[in-house]
Amino acid sequence: MKVLFREQQRFKQVWLWVVILGVAAMSWAGFIYKVILGGDLGSRSASAIQLAVMAGLLGVGLPLFFYSMKLTTKVYPGLLTVQFSPFHLKAMKIPLHELRNYESVTYNPILDYGGWGIRWSFNGKAYNTSGNKGVQLYFYNKKPLLIGSQRPQQLLEAIRKAKEIKRTDV
């Protein structure tokens, strides 16, 4: 099936990565100080095994987990797919005949949806990783869905074209 639009986004906010890498660095610093350098972290500090587990989870696991998160949006004739890895093992398929309307929007991620990621609110559901632009999808019998995009006009145009082309394969 011909892909009319493809966009892959990741979390790229500097402040987010400063926090994540700061937490990772603190876990590694505690591990190195106590286990490798033999320092004392206080009378009730964690054991070497506990610090090793924390350094592994927070120092390696947390940054890798956030790095693995990505939002992939594809538009095919008659079909839109959205996959927010690693949460969606398979792409969510949205047949375009289910759309009542759609529009390019500028929104406030914090006020409208409570942040970035997979979000739910009174406004419906949102998939976003960064920025404040996207395409709002309105369905005949479901709540709206916002798909964040760094190229909302191109996504909107691809949806318009995809609705006109008869879908041949799912």
Q: Which residues contact 20 (CB under 8 A, 6 or more apart)?
A: 62, 63, 66
Residue 167 pLDDT class (50, 70, 90 cuts): low
pLDDT tens readout for residues 87-126:
989 999 999 999 999 999 999 988 888 888 999 988 899 9
Q: Is the pLDDT of residue 169 over 50?
A: no
Residues 103, 86 contacting (CB under 8 angstroms): no
156: Cα separation from own chain's centroid: 20
Instruction: Report in angstroms the alpha-carbon separations of 128 from 14, 89, 141.
Output: 16, 17, 22
Cα 139 to Cα 49: distance, rounded to the nearest angstrom: 52
Q: Is the pLDDT of residue 170 over 70?
A: no
CATH class of 71-164: mainly beta
pLDDT tens readout for residues 138-160:
998 899 999 999 999 999 999 99
